Amino acid sequence: MLLHGTWMTIQLSFLAMLFGLLLAIVCAWGKTAGPAPARWLINAYIEVIRNTPFLVQLFFFFFALPAVGVRWSPYTAALVAMVFNLGAYATEIVRAGIESIPKGQVEAGLALNLSRLDIFRFVILKPALKAIYPALTSQFILLMLASSVVSVISADDLTSVAANLQSETFRSFEIYIVITVIYLLLTLAFSYVFRLVFQWGLNYPDRR
Amino acid sequence: MRTFGYTDFWFILEAAQWTVMLSLIAFAGGGVVGLIVALSRTAESPLARTLSVGFIQLFRGTPLLLQLFLVFFGAPVIGLDVNPWAAAAVALTLNSGAFLGEIWRGCIEAIPRGQWEAAEALGLSYRHKMRDVVLPQALKIAVPPTVGYLVQIVKGTSLAAIIGFTELTRAGQIINNATFQPMLVFSVVAVVYFLLCWPLSLLASYMERRLALSLTR
C-alpha cells in the first residue's frame, strides 16, 4: 500500500511537472513576445494563482467546476490543479531565464536565417533552461510536497494511503512518521535525479 | 439547503480574521526560530551548523501537511492535549522558521567578508559583531524576500483547515456544505485570500526593485 501510494505521488508529480513546464514555456513566450491582451491575461493568471492557496485552487477545480458542468475524477482534478499551480510559478522563472538571453544571440539567429520557432527552441529556450534549472527544480520539489494536499479531495496518493491505514489501525502518529520519512526520501531522490538530468542533458560547454 | 446570503459572507469574513491571526503568530514565532536557525547556520561551531542544516532539511524536505499531522496526532502520544489551533500554530512556526532561516542565512552570507574581518580586527565579541555590524546590513537585504515569504505563510495557513481549525478555507467548506454553491463560495474565499496576499506581493516586488536600485547606485 505504501509503495502504491509512493508510486502515485511520483506519477502525479512527474505528470504535473511535465505539463506545468510546457504550460509555463507557452505562457512565458506569450508574456515576452505575445500581443498586449495575451500578456494581460497571462499576468492575471499568474497573480491569481500565486496569491491564493493551493488548497483553495484544488477545491475550485474539484467542487466548483463540476457544478458548472465539468465532470472529472479526483485524480484528474488534482492533476489539473497542480499543472495550473506549477504553470504560474514556473512562467515567472522561465521568463526570467528568457530575459537573461542577450539580444545579440537572437539577432545572430536571425542572421543565420533560422525560423522564429527554431530561434526560440535553440537560441533562447535551451540556454534559458540551463540558467534557471536550479530555481525550476526547487519549484518542482515544492510541487511534489504540495501534492500531499490532494488527498483531501480523495485523490489517490501517499498521504491518502496514510489516512486509509490510520482508519484501519488507529496508529496515526507512527503512520505519519513513516509517511513523512518517505516524503523526505522522495525529496532527496528527486534532487539527485534532477542533478543527473542536468549533467546528462544540459551540461554542454558554456562560453559566456 | 439554503442560498448563499449576507450572513454566510459575513461568516467567511470573520473566519478570515483567524487566517490573519494564525499568519501573524506563525510569522512572529517563525521569525524567532528563523533567526536562531540562520545564526547557527552561519556560526563557527560545526555542531550548530549540522543541527541547523538538519532542521532546515527536515522541514523543507517534507510537506507542511504532514508536519501539521505529526504535531496534531503526535502531541497526544507524549501526553499533551492539543487543539487544532495550537497544533497549527506550532507546525506553522517550525515550518516558517526553517524557510525564514534559510532566507536569512543567504542575507547574512551576502555581507562582504571584509566586514566580518574588520569587526574581528576591532576585537568585537560575537554578540557585538552580529548585532552592530552584520545583522543591520543583512536586515536591509532581508526585508523584501521576507515580505514575499509572508504570502507563503498566509497561503500555508489554509492547510490548518484539514485538521479542523476554522479559518478562511474551512469556513468556505462549511458554507459550501450548507448552501451547495461551490462556484460562488470558493470564488469568495479565493478573492479574500487574493486581497490578503496581493498587497504583500506588490509590496515585496516594489521593495525588491528599490533595493536593486540602491545597490547599483
For chain A, give the percent of residues with pLDDT over 70. Answer: 97
User: What do you get for the CA distance between the two ends of chain A, in Å?
Assistant: 50
Closest residue in chain B to residue A144, using alpha carbons only: B63
Q: Measured between beta carbons, which residues in chain A are less than 8 angstroms from residue B169?
A: 53, 55-56, 59
Report the distance separating Cα A50 and Cα A87, nearest Å: 10
- Residue contact B62–A187, C-beta within 8 A: yes
pLDDT digits (tens, 9 = 90+) for B34-65: 999 999 999 889 999 999 999 999 999 999 99
Contacts of residue A164, defined as CB under 8 A and 6 or more positions apart, other chains included, come to A1
The predicted pLDDT at position B1 comes to 64
- Please compute the mean of the pLDDT values over residues B98-126 and round it to a whole number: 93
For chain B, give the percent of residues with pLDDT over 90. Answer: 72
Angle between the A74-99 and A126-146 helix axes, to the nearest 10 degrees? Answer: 150
**Quick one: pLDDT band at residue A207, thresholds 50, 70, 90?**
low
Q: Tell me which DSSP letter residue B62 carries.
A: S
Q: Measured between beta carbons, which residues in chain B are less than 8 angstroms from residue A47?
A: 194, 198, 201
- Residue contact B69–A68, C-beta within 8 A: no
The predicted pLDDT at position A206 comes to 61
Residue A26's alpha-carbon distances to A100, B46, B207, in angstroms, are 17, 46, 29
Secondary structure (DSSP) of chain B: -----HHHHHHHHHHHHHHHHHHHHHHHHHHHHHHHHHHHHTSS-HHHHHHHHHHHHHHHSS-HHHHHHHHHHHHHHTT----HHHHHHHHHHHHHHHHHHHHHHHHHHTS-HHHHHHHHHTT--HHHIIIIIIHHHHHHHHHHHHHHHHHHHHHHGGGGGTTT--SHHHHHHHHHHHH--HHHHHHHHHHHHHHHHHHHHHHHHHHHHHHHHHHH-
- Residue contact A149–B197, C-beta within 8 A: no
ipTM of the complex: 0.87
pLDDT digits (tens, 9 = 90+) for A44-59: 999 999 999 999 999 9
List the single residue in A56, A187, A188 with the smallest CB-CB distance to B169: A56
- Residue contact A68–B197, C-beta within 8 A: no
- Estimate to the nearest angstrom the gap between the alpha carbon of B141 and the chain centroid: 18
**A51's grid cell:** 496569491
Report the distance separating Cα B174 and Cα B170, nearest Å: 6
Residue A27 CB neighbour total at 10 angstroms: 25
Residue B75 CB neighbour total at 10 angstroms: 17
Report the distance separating Cα B166 and Cα B11, nearest Å: 11
- Please compute the mean of the pLDDT values over residues B132-137 and round it to a whole number: 92
The predicted pLDDT at position A171 comes to 81
pLDDT digits (tens, 9 = 90+) for A135-161: 999 999 999 999 999 988 887 888 888
- Judged against a pLDDT cut of 80, whether residue A204 lies above it is answered with no
Q: Measured between beta carbons, which residues in chain A are less than 8 angstroms from residue B186?
A: 56, 59-60, 63-64
Average pLDDT over all residues of chain A: 88
The predicted pLDDT at position B217 comes to 60
**Quick one: pLDDT band at residue A25, thresholds 50, 70, 90?**
very high
Secondary structure (DSSP) of A13-82: HHHHHHHHHHHHHHHHHHHHHS-HHHHHHHHHHHHHHHTS-HHHHHHIIIIIHHHTT----HHHHHHHHH
- Residue contact A59–B186, C-beta within 8 A: yes
- Please compute the mean of the pLDDT values over residues B148-160 and round it to a whole number: 94
Report the distance separating Cα B99 and Cα B124, nearest Å: 29
- Judged against a pLDDT cut of 60, whether residue A208 lies above it is answered with no
Contact B26, B149 (CB under 8 A): no
